[in-house]
Structure 1
């Protein structure tokens, strides 16, 4: 396993992390993702640890906290071998302090997560969403206090817009508070909006990307093909309304190239899609999920080899879209590009 620095921090994380969203199986969304109990989870954690996948990601909203609880049980007796990443901020109830990232909510959310996980510290704690109703100074100060108390070791965010992340980093810098080291983001061959603003921001500010849904919300599993209906067992039947939308034409163009590369390399479609992501700037770790041991074993096959530059270029071209304003001039106009060289060259 390759280990990478998380942004500009001193934390080293595995290139692949394990997403525990399939643990617990409560509620319409997460039951469709998976319903691994403690025994099944422990076997998958065993496989992950044996492969060097040492970071495990969860959230308080995953199966109403059951994901964290099952993960804690699966890691019992080997906590020191693992990095635990979890998130809070989205609503967990109807009460006034059941949502958001105010000081009171964050302190309670961290204490509750520690209890469910069966640990006295969290390696990486991330805000699951931006809370427009709370001053960023209150949020960042509260997290800094939890870091100083030893309950959190590193902090990050998830699903922030560029201005939201930059405003938070500026507040931390102005007051000498702990900076965000990670941004957990959606990024895939069929969802490349991350490249337009958040990637350059992460590169400039030393914030590493932890990628969620790297297979495009289940669209790049190798089961979806042009001109065919969704397979009967696809989770997209139940979960498509919650995931990021993808244009069918873009999806099929990408899948066509993935199929070609699968024949050329002998690798599976998911392995190729994950391997492509591992080469992208600012990406520190890609979260893989698995409903069962077979799927986990396949995803683990994404490391230990590399696509050629020519193969990467074909994937880049298949998944390319014209950036919206104000980003597109930097892609198509020489003067703009000269002032701001892109981290990822435009596909030709």
Structure 2
């Protein structure tokens, strides 16, 4: 496993980070989830990412139980706040001081830890003054409940405003967690340059485009039984933007590129996002322990420039690069 600094900080994290969105507490049984976490530890992964909203807090509990007994100083545990949890009452969502202060305590209890290494604003809250949010985060850091603060899916302008306030309040905002893959490159033109300037790293989710870049979905064919695209509980909705024959056909054309690089399709996808110098880690999940061992093989891989060029040629115009998509796909108001 290789390790990278997170933003302009002294914190090192594993460049393959284990995330439990859409799996723990929902798609896989708890004992299998624990096996996946153990497999991640065995492969040298030390960084684990979750959120209070995943399976409505259950994912945090499953991760906390799976990591119980591990030396805390050897781990980097990340979680998030914003989306509705609990019964979804009026203050059970957003980035108000009330919700942040209540949420961090709940997350720590479920994760069975005294602190998280990174506490992240899961989205930007348009209904709470940013000053209120950042003051609350400053107090969370000063209380020792979180060491650093991050955000997720913020625009370049929002990141700049957040870093400015964090600096004034005396704490570090060091990361952004956006979607990023060969197929979804909307952060490249604005978010990445701004983040690089400000000392903020990307922790990218869905580097395999919800599994599409693994090559398991063929054009003109029904998705395999048990796959995310066949999951009507939520997975199918998340992956649908990529599930068209033009995209799937282009992805199939990547197979010889991966073979010549000595990588599986999934490994090629993960290695590709790690070529970006502003990316500190790629988030990978798993529904089976063997998937973890397979994905970890992308760590430390350097793709030759001709391989990167061939990927661009193969995918062509199916790649989404519109920087406006970050704001377009963000919630315009709270969900409760």
Q: Same fold (TM over 0.5)?
A: yes
8 Å CA contact 1:257, 1:314 repeated in 2: no
8 Å CA contact 1:17, 1:53 repeated in 2: yes
Identify the residue that residue 17 of structure 2 maps to in structure 1.
Answer: 17
Moved more, 156-165 or 268-277: 156-165
Kindly state the Cα deviation for residue 24 of structure 1 after the two structures are TM-superposed: 3.6
Q: Please show how residues 1-348 of structure 1 align to structure 2 within 5 Å.
A: 1-25=1-25, 31=26, 34-37=27-30, 39-78=31-70, 79-92=72-85, 93-173=87-167, 175-237=168-230, 238=232, 239-243=235-239, 245-246=241-242, 248=244, 251-252=247-248, 254-320=250-316, 321=319, 323-324=321-322
Pick the structure with greater CA Rg.
1
Kindly state the Cα deviation for residue 81 of structure 1 after the two structures are TM-superposed: 2.2
Kindly state the Cα deviation for residue 43 of structure 1 after the two structures are TM-superposed: 2.4
Aligned partners of 2:302, 2:250: CA distance in 1, in Å?
A: 18
What SS does structure 2 have at the residue aligned with 1:168? helix
Aligned partners of 2:138, 2:205: CA distance in 1, in Å?
A: 25
Kindly state the Cα deviation for residue 241 of structure 1 after the two structures are TM-superposed: 1.8
Identify the residue that residue 332 of structure 2 maps to in structure 1.
Answer: none
Aligned partners of 2:180, 2:323: CA distance in 1, in Å?
A: 20
Aligned partners of 2:288, 2:323: CA distance in 1, in Å?
A: 42
Aligned partners of 2:37, 2:88: CA distance in 1, in Å?
A: 33
Kindly state the Cα deviation for residue 216 of structure 1 after the two structures are TM-superposed: 0.5
Aligned partners of 2:43, 2:208: CA distance in 1, in Å?
A: 20
Aligned partners of 1:108, 1:212: CA distance in 2, in Å?
A: 26
Structure 2 unpaired stretches of 5+: 325-336
Moved more, 310-319 or 67-76: 310-319
Give the TM-score normalised by structure 1: 0.85
Kindly state the Cα deviation for residue 137 of structure 1 after the two structures are TM-superposed: 0.7
Give the TM-score normalised by structure 2: 0.88
Structure 1 unpaired stretches of 5+: 26-30, 327-348
Kindly state the Cα deviation for residue 221 of structure 1 after the two structures are TM-superposed: 2.0
8 Å CA contact 1:253, 1:319 repeated in 2: no
C-alpha root-mean-square deviation of aligned residues, in Å? 2.1
Q: What per-residue deviation string (whole Å, max 9, x for no partner) do you get for residues 53-78 of structure 1?
A: 10011000111111111111111111
Instruction: Tell me how many residue pairs correspond in the alignment.
Output: 318
Aligned partners of 1:64, 1:51: CA distance in 2, in Å?
A: 28
Kindly state the Cα deviation for residue 188 of structure 1 after the two structures are TM-superposed: 0.5
